[in-house]
Each structure stands twice: as C-alpha cells, then as structure tokens.
Amino acid sequence: MQISFLAASNAFKNSPLDVIRVNKVIAEELRAKGHEVKESPIGDGGTDTLDAFAGNLGASAQLMTSRVLDPFGRRISAQWLHIPESSTAIIESAKATGLTVIKPDERNPLEASTYGTGELIIDALDSGCKNLKLTVGGSATVDAGMGMMKALGVVFKDESHGFLDPKGSNLKDIREIEIITAVAKLQGINIEFLSDVQTPLRSSVPDGENVMLYTKQKFRDDASFQAGREILDQGMDNIANIVDEMARKKKARRIASQEPTTGAGGGTPYIPLALFGATTYSGIERFAEMFDLEGKIQAADVVITGEGRLDKQTLEGKGPAEVIRLAKNHDKKVIVVCGSAEDRNWKDHGVDLVIKINPNDLPLAEAIAKTEELLRAAIRANMSLIEAL
C-alpha cells in the first residue's frame, strides 16, 4: 500500500549534508519503495536555517554573496537571501560569524566579533531591503552583538573616551555607547530575530539561565573556557547595566537584558531588541507560518522529522518539536530520524518511531562524516517498521 509521507527534517549538526540533502535522502529511500513523499526542509533559527528558507522559497528568492569579516577579521564570502517582492533579507549570522567558518582550535569568544554579520545587514540595506529576518544559532561569538552594531554605526568607548574594538573581552570596558548613526541607518527598518532558544542575556533570578549557558562550546577546550568565562560574565553584566539604563530612558516597560532570546547567539539580539525596536520570534513557529507547515502535515499520512541528536533540548524550541506538535494535533504518525537519542520514552512526547542512524561502535567523527551512508542504511533497515505504522 502506498503511504503519503512528509519529510520535514532539521539539519544534522556538523554533518556534511545540508538540510535540503538530508530531506532528499529520506525521500529517495521511501520513493524507492513506491511511496509518495513531499519534502519540506525545516529551519528553527539554528545552523542551516538559510538553506531551509532557500529550499522552500525557490525562485522567489535570490541567493546573494557578500564579502565580510569572519569572527577574527579575515575576509570571507557569506551568503544571504534577498526576496525582492517583499523587500526582505534572510540573514543567517553563522554564515559570517559562526563556528562553521573557523577551525575548532581557533574557537575563542574573547576575541571573536559579530562585525561580519553587521556587514551582511549593510549589504541587505544597500540592496533595498526593509525587512530583515536574522537567525543567530551556531555563532562563534559572545560579544552581545557589539561587532554587528559597530558595523551599523554604533560607537563603544572606554573610560578614557577611547574607541573599543568589538569583541567579547572588551565588553567589561565599555563606559559609553553612542547610537545616533545607527538610529538613522535603521530608521524604518523592520528587524526580526528568529531563534531556537529563549535564553535571556541576564537572568531575573540567582543562578538562572543566561547568555553563558551556551558559551562553553565556543571555546577550543575546557581550560580556555575556565580561564575566560569570568571575563565574559563580567562583560555581560557591564553592558546590561548600560544598555538597560538606555532602554529605561526610552521608557522600556521591562528590563531589556532579562527579555527572552536576548542571550541567543552570544547576546547578538540584545541591543537591537533593547534600543532599536527589533522583535523576536520562535524560529520554527515563524518558519511554519511562512511555509504552511501545518497544511503540509495535514496532507500526509506519516511525518518524518529529525536532527543530529534527539534530547531534552529538542523539546525546548527546536524544529522537530514543532513538527511533532503539529502532527499530533492532526493525529498523524511521527517518525524521528537522528544520529543519537536520549534514553527516554519518546512515545510520551508524540513520537511513534525513533530511528537512530549512528552505530554504537562507530566514533562520532567518523559517523558524522558518513551521515548520508548511515541515513540511507537506517531507513532501509527500518522500512518494515516505517510501513507498519
């Protein structure tokens, strides 16, 4: 019997397969058995969200290439999407200032800057874009968006009124912030941040989650993290005090640094949200709305989603969680394909079948390199279970 499937997987983190290819591989294996499959790659604001947008937008979007600075000031090429009909730019900050554009042994958020992301914004503005949608997942930076804002004209000064280079280690030295040039540049521009985490820059409760939650992975090793974490933490306290006060003078109703998502991407959304009227959305909810993901799910018999690891974080704003929620709203069977999975009863979370593609005896680096081969093999090996749902 032919089954109608929807392949709506997220990217597999660190995999050589982009999100479009992941969904295509799943679809090819199911079509080989005579089933109908529609592909709808998803993006939640994390790595590869730009590719998911491109795959769904098709010819209505133009893939643009800009020359920008990477996190350490080296000139690289980075892509973004231009949708001329709506004067919209889709910008994935990780394409310019993410972990994927540097080597693992280079990771150092004390020196890394979001300046290149700001350069992407400038190119989008120069192309006539009035609506900016930015994703901040996968960043190599913890500079509270200092570099991005400097590229847009914001000036950061120390106690001697000297200009500060935009990087994490200099956050603690900021004493003055001048925004007048950036205010003029961003006048009439609608800025949305799409994120897969809700972490604030600073917590409203002692020992609560804040921007430091995802900082360790941005250092090259634990020793460098232990040596640098206090510098960054002090810097975040400092910039929060300054910017929150500036926001209060603009009659902000709440403490800006405690707003959800201000801590995403090493704090990249914080200043735009506090001072420039930017807004923030769940990346996957916005994505689902734009591309009628619910309608596509309704039209399928079985929905297949996935990502690199299925765990607690998956349930906290990641793309597959929204796919599962929408599917269960319409009584659809759900399969999750993943590299590995946390040990829990996933049926309690709406998942009918979990397919883990990584053999237990294969080193992670080798498994990641063989993602396509393992994904195909796992779909084939579990085909009887898939068809029995």
Average confidence (pLDDT) over 323-345: 96
3-state secondary structure string across 205-230: CCCCCCHHHHCHHHCCCHHHHHHHHH
Query: Which residue ranges make up each domain of the chain?
Result: 4-40+299-388, 49-284
DSSP 139-157: BS--STTHHHHHHTT-EEE
Residues 6+ apart with CB under 8 A from 215: 109, 142, 225, 229, 232, 266
Average confidence (pLDDT) over 241-270: 92
The per-residue pLDDT for 151 is 98
Q: Which of 109-123, 148-162, 178-192, 196-210 has the lowest mean pLDDT?
A: 196-210
Please determine, for residue 250, whether its predicted confidence score (pLDDT) is greater than 90: no
Label the pairing between strands 279-282 and 302-310.
unpaired
Assess contact for 247 and 258: CB atoms under 8 A: no
What CA–CA distance (Å, rounded) separates 197 from 62? 28
- Of the candidates 290, 283, 327, 280, the one whose C-alpha atom is nearest the C-alpha of residue 55 is 290
| Residue labelled with tokens 């939650």 | 213
The per-residue pLDDT for 204 is 86
Share of the chain above pLDDT 70, in %: 99
Please determine, for residue 34, whether its predicted confidence score (pLDDT) is greater than 80: yes
The per-residue pLDDT for 80 is 98
Share of the chain above pLDDT 90, in %: 91
Classified by CATH at the fold level, domain 49-284 comes out as Glycerate kinase, domain 2 (3.90.1510)
Residues 6+ apart with CB under 8 A from 352: 333, 334, 335, 389
Please determine, for residue 252, whether its predicted confidence score (pLDDT) is greater than 70: no
3-state secondary structure string across 92-119: ECHHHHEHHHCCHHHCCCCCCCCHHHHH
Q: How many CA atoms lie within 13 A of 315 on its CB side?
A: 10
Average confidence (pLDDT) over 213-218: 95
Average confidence (pLDDT) over 102-110: 97
pLDDT tens-digit map of 117-153: 999 999 999 999 999 999 999 999 999 999 999 999 9
Structure tokens at 22: 């992941």
Instruction: Please give the class, per CATH, of domain 4-40+299-388.
Output: alpha beta
Please determine, for residue 366, whether its predicted confidence score (pLDDT) is greater than 70: yes
Q: In the structure, what pLDDT confidence band is assigned to residue 195 with cuts at 50, 70 and 90? A: very high
What CA–CA distance (Å, rounded) separates 35 from 294? 21
Q: In whole numbers, what is the pLDDT of the chain averaged over residues?
A: 95
pLDDT tens-digit map of 270-329: 999 999 999 999 999 999 999 999 999 999 999 999 999 999 889 887 999 999 999 999
